[in-house]
Structure 1
Amino acid sequence: MKTYGLIGYRLGYSFSKGFFTDKFEREGLKEHEYVNFELNTISEFPSIFKKNDHIAGLNCTIPYKQEIMPYLDEVDEEATQVGAINTVKIIRSADQTKLKGFNTDIYGFENSLMPMLNKKHKKALILGTGGASKAIKHILDKNNIDYLSASIEEELFEKEIRYEQIDESLLKEHLIIIHATPLGTFPKIDNCPSVPYEHITSDHVLFDLVYNPELTLFLKKGLEKGASIKNGLEMLHLQAIKAWEIWNA
C-alpha cells in the first residue's frame, strides 16, 4: 500500500483527500490511499512516519506551511523564496529517508491566473496579507507585475495599504484584483472584501482563491460589472497534479 496524505490542523473536508481518492479510484490504483493527518502541533510531524512506514508523499496546509520547514532535509529553491511548503517528497535510499519540500501553489496560481491577462494588466491589488499571499507575490514579481496589498493589520509594511485607500483612481491602475482571504467561503457566503465595486470595469480581472461557493459574492460583483473572473478551483487542481508529478518523479 502506498500512502499519501495531508498534514494540517482540524482538517474536516479537504480538497486534497477528495481529489486524490477520486483519482485513485478512477485510475484503478487500488494499492494507493490518501489520509488526513491532523496534528495538534507541528512537533507531532515526525511521529506519522513511525506509524506509517509506507508514506509515499505528503501535502501540507495551514497552519504548518512555514512551521514544517525545519523538519525537512532539503527545500526547493522557489519554495525557499516564498517561505512556505505545501508538498513534501519522500526520498528513500538503502540506508536513509530524506524529506524535500516544494510549493506547488506557485505553479497552480501562475498557470491559472496568467492566461487571463494581457498587456494592459500591469498592476495588481491583493486583498489580504496572510500566508496565501506569499505565492501570489512571488508570481507577480516573476512576471513583472507591480502590486499593492490591502491589509487589516495594525502595522503596515512595504507595498501595503488600508482598504479605505482603495478608490477609483487606484482601481483604474490596478486592473488585477486577487482575493486571498477566506471571506465569503461557505457557509458565510454573504460576505465579501470591502472594495468600491462600482469602479470595477470590463478591463478588470478578479481572481478569488475561494472555490466554495463556485461564485463568491466578490466574483458576482465583478461579473455584474463585466469583469473577467475565476475562482480557486483550477489552481487547486493544478497544484495537486504538480504534487503528484513531484512525488512520482
Structure 2
Amino acid sequence: MASLGEEMISSPAHLDGVAYLYGHPLLNSLSPPLHHTIYTALGLNWAQLPLSVSDISSPTYPPPYTLSPPIEKFLASIKSNGKFVGSSVTMPWKVSIMPHLDDLTEQAKQIGACNTIFLRKEDDRNVFVGTNTDCVGIREALLQNNLDGSSGNESFRDRPALIIGGGGTARAAIYTLRKWLGCSKIYIVNRDREEVEAILKEDTGRVYDGFKAEILYIGELDQVDELEPVAAIVSGIPDYPPKTAEEIKTRAIIQAVLNKPSGGSQKKGLLLEMCYHPRPWTQIAELAEKAGWKVIPGTEALIWQGLEQARLWTGKDITTRPELVQLVKDVVARKIEERAGGKATS
C-alpha cells in the first residue's frame, strides 16, 4: 500500500488551483466530476483531487478499500500549498477535523460537523474555515422541488417534518428544517435510540435565532396515530433491506407515516432520499411514491451543496447561471446512469 504521507497529497504542476476531496472511501464520489464541470465552464485550470490510496489488505469492504492521510499531515500540506483553494471533507473526518481549523461557521458549529474547508483572507494571511454545505443542499433540494411551485418555505413553515436516521445527515436536516424551513416539530425515526439520544443531548446547548422546533423520537408504531401530518421527510439511511427486529420495526413505522392520511385538503408532502448509492431509487423511495409522496433523489442535495462549495472556493455564485446549474445536473445524471448500467465511472 502506498504511504499515507504527504506524497499522496499531490498538487500537479499543470494546475493553477487545487481542491481536494478528503476522506474515505471515495470510490463512488460524484464530487470530482461535479466540480470539474464547474471549473471548465468558468475557464479555471483547477481540479478536485480525491485523497485516498487503496488498501487491498482490508477484507471489510469490496476492494479496493481506501484510506486517507491523517489530519495533521493533510492540514500541513494544504497550508503550505499556494495552489490550495478548498476541500470537501467526508467521513471519517467531518467531526474530528473541526478543532484543527482556524474558524468555524455557524452551520458547522450548530450541525456539529464540517464537510467543507474554504479560505478567508485576514491581514494578508489565509484563515482556514470549516463550514457545512450539506444543510444548503437539503434546503435547496426541498425548496427547488416545492409542491406549490414556489421557492419559499410556506409549504413547510409551522408544519412538522420527519427525519429518518440518526447520523450526520440527520443533524444537517435538523438545522435546515429549523432555520430555513420554519418547521414546527421534527420527528426522528431511527433503529438506534441511543443515536437519537445523542442528538437530543447535543441539542440542549444550542441557541437558534427564532423558534427552536422540538425534536421528538418516534420509536413505536402506535405513536404514528398521534402525529400531525408532516410536510417533508428527509431520509438519511443506507438502502438495505431491514433484517434485525429494530430495523423491521423502524421500517413499519416509516411505512405507517408514509401511508398516514394527510388530513383535510393537504396533499402528501416531499421525501428527500439522501441515499443515492448504489442507485438513487431506494426501497424507501419506492414506498413513498406508492403512498403519494413526491420523491426527490439525493443527487439534488449533492448538487446544491456542491454549488455552494464552488461559490466559497471560486467567489462565483453558480446558482445565478441556470444553464450551468443544468449542465451540472446533466453530468451527475449521466454518471448515475453509467453506474446503474455497470459501466466504469470516475
Give the TM-score category using the shorter length: 0.7 to 0.9
Structure 2 residue aligned with 1:150: 189
**Conserved 8 A contact 2:51-2:69:** no
Unaligned runs of 5+ in 1: 186-190
2:274 to 209, 215, 219: 209
* Distance of aligned partners of 1:65 and 1:133 in 2 relative to their CA distance in 1, 3 Å threshold: same
1:37 aligns with 2:51: yes
Aligned equivalent of 2:235: 179
> Partners of 1:40 and 1:182 in 2: how far apart?
26
For these two proteins, the number of residue pairs brought into alignment is 243
Ranges in structure 2 where 5+ consecutive residues have no aligned partner? 1-15, 53-67, 148-154, 201-214, 242-246, 262-266, 316-346
Aligned partners of 1:166, 1:34: CA distance in 2, in Å? 48
TM-score by length of 1: 0.83
Residue 15 of structure 1 deviates from its aligned partner by: 1.6
Pick the aligned partner of 2:142 from 89, 101, 113: 113
1:134 to 171, 193, 198: 171
| Equivalent in 26, 32, 35 of residue 20 of structure 1 | 35
| CA gap 1:181/1:170 in 2 versus in 1, 3 angstroms | farther
Indicate whether 1:4 and 2:64 are aligned: no
C-alpha change, 1:50 and 1:144, in structure 2 (3 Å) is: closer
TM-score between the two structures when normalised by the length of structure 2: 0.62
1:196 aligns with 2:234: no
Give yes or no for contact 1:86–1:103 (8 Å, CA) kept in 2.
yes
The 8 Å contact of residues 168 and 196 in structure 1, kept in 2 or not, is answered as no
CA shift for structure 1 position 93: 6.8
Question: Kindly tell me: are residues 150 and 19 of structure 1, through their superposed partners in 2, closer, same or farther at Cα, counting changes over 3 Å?
Answer: same
Cα-Cα RMSD: 2.9
Q: Is the 8 A contact 2:239 2:283 kept in 1?
A: no
Structure exhibiting the larger radius of gyration computed from Cα positions? 2
Cα distance in structure 1, aligned partners of 2:304 and 2:167: 21
Q: CA deviation at 1:55?
A: 0.9
Report the Cα distance in structure 2 between the residues aligned to 1:96 and 1:119, rounded to whole angstroms.
42
Per-residue deviation, 1:127: 0.7
- With over 3 angstroms needed to count, the CA separation of the structure-2 counterparts of 1:121 and 1:207, relative to structure 1, is farther
Q: How far off its partner does 1:246 sit?
A: 1.1
Alignment partners' CA distance in 1, 2:294 and 2:226: 18
Aligned residue among 161, 185, 194 for 1:124: 161
Between stretches 3-12 and 198-207, larger displacement belongs to 198-207
- The amino acid that maps onto 1:173 is P
- Partners of 2:124 and 2:138 in 1: how far apart? 37
The structure in which a higher percent of residues are strand is: 1
Q: Aligned in 2, Cα 1:205/1:92: closer, same or farther, shift over 3 Å?
A: closer
| C-alpha deviation, 1:237, in angstroms | 0.9
Conservation of the 8 A alpha-carbon contact between 2:35 and 2:310: no
For 1:6-47, what per-residue CA distance to the aligned partner results, in whole angstroms no more than 9, with x for missing partners? 111221131211211233344443x21110123254333224
1:188 maps to: none
**Equivalent residue of 2:166, what SS?**
coil
